[in-house]
Amino acid sequence: MNTSAPGVDTHEMVLIHRVIRREFGQLPRLFRSAANNPARSKIIGAHAREMLHFLHTHHTGEDELLFPLLRERAALDPELMNRMDTQHAQVNDAVAAISTELPMWTASADAAAGKQMAALIDATMPTLIDHLAEEEQKLLPIVSATLTQSEWDALGKHGMSAIPVTRRLIILGHITEETDEAERQKFLQVVPAPARLAYKLVGHRQFTRETTAIRG
């Protein structure tokens, strides 16, 4: 494969966005469901922490490895790029606020704190949803024509390396949860063979067990 000429398949990012939409979409309900129940807030708190980190990593990867290359090489609508930055900043503020609150709530299951975090996510979801949709519709076609394969792979590696090794199979479960067969096969091509095998043998079961406990 020629990795120095522009032209990449960006569909991987659509799969990542599905995880973000799905998991953040249900976090408010999960926070509320754990009110005054510390056994449950420990489970939900750990999941929320993982997803906040996942979203944060996704955005910093774009900020550092994607947007600068696009700005350098493509004729971009300045309003669109400003909007992308503003949306990232808004979402990051919410992520930071919830990340600050989360450890205490995880230990205490304090109902008011849970409600507050739920409300903050509810208030941020429209921005996040608009952002992901606009990125898919307007930016990914430009990315696809602008980045080389190795540049695109660097973004994937940035995301992957931020996930602790012990959690990678669970994240793989999240990414493949809503894929159709063709999407799943395609995504699994970027997963090393030992991890694919481990997912088949134990990872999928672990993922199902965890998400069943989380979603209640």
Contacting residues toward Fe ion, per CB under 5 A: 135
What 3 state SS string does the chain have?
Answer: CCCCCECCCCHHHHHHHHHHHHHHHHHHHHHHHCCCCHHHHHHHHHHHHHHHHHHHHHHHHHHHHHHHHHHHHCCCCHHHHHHHHHHHHHHHHHHHHHHHHHHHHHHHCCHHHHHHHHHHHHHHHHHHHHHHHHHHHHHHHHHHHHCEHHHHHHHHHHHHHCCCHHHHHHHHHHHHCCCCHHHHHHHHCCCCHHHHHHHHHHHHHHHHHHHHHHHC
Q: What is the Cα–Cα distance from 100 to 96, expressed in whole angstroms?
A: 6
Query: Which residue of the chain is nearest Fe ion when measured via CB?
Result: 135
C-beta closer to Fe ion: residue 23 or 135: 135
C-beta closer to Fe ion: residue 50 or 135: 135
C-beta closer to Fe ion: residue 57 or 108: 57
- For residue 200, the minimal CB distance to Fe ion (Å) is 28
Tokens for 189, please give them.
């091509």
- For residue 192, the minimal CB distance to Fe ion (Å) is 23
- For residue 62, the minimal CB distance to Fe ion (Å) is 6
C-beta closer to Fe ion: residue 20 or 120: 20
- For residue 34, the minimal CB distance to Fe ion (Å) is 28
C-beta closer to Fe ion: residue 122 or 136: 136
- For residue 142, the minimal CB distance to Fe ion (Å) is 13
